[in-house]
Amino acid sequence: MTATAKPGRRRTPLVAVLGILLIVACGRTSINRDQWQRMSTGEKTLYVRSLLGHDQAATSKGGQPPAHQRPAEEYVKAIDAAYVQGESRNVDIVFETMGRPHR
């Protein structure tokens, strides 16, 4: 017999590292006021759509109607307006305050 390692054993650390990277990369990120103001309208809309997707996922798990039912573009305008008025919290926190409360 030869003293070589089994091919599957060498891949285990690589698969573990890739799995950890995937979890970290897919984690929800927060965007602060300065980052938001530097984003294009398209980037802002995409970010809000991701927040709406999170809201939809929570809705489907809990059976509650979604807290955010307006189009993403309306939320983008509302967040922009909040920042013009001096809001300083992260976008996801501002977004959460714009939905109707869950019961």
Q: What is the pLDDT of residue 2?
A: 53
Q: How many Å apart are CA 66 and CA 75, to the nearest integer?
A: 14
| Token pair of 49 as six digits | 């759509």
- DSSP line for 27-91: S-----HHHHHHS-HHHHHHHHHHHHHHHHHHHHHH-PPPS--S-HHHHHHHHHHHHHTT--S-H
What confidence tens digit (pLDDT) does each residue in 61-103 have? 877 778 889 999 999 999 999 999 999 999 999 999 998 765 4
CB 67 within 8 A of CB 56: no
Distance from the Cα of residue 56 to its chain's centroid = 12
**Higher pLDDT among residues 12 and 10, named by residue:** 12
Q: How many Å apart are CA 56 and CA 52, to the nearest integer?
A: 6
Q: Does residue 42 surpass a pLDDT of 70?
A: yes
Distance from the Cα of residue 43 to its chain's centroid = 13
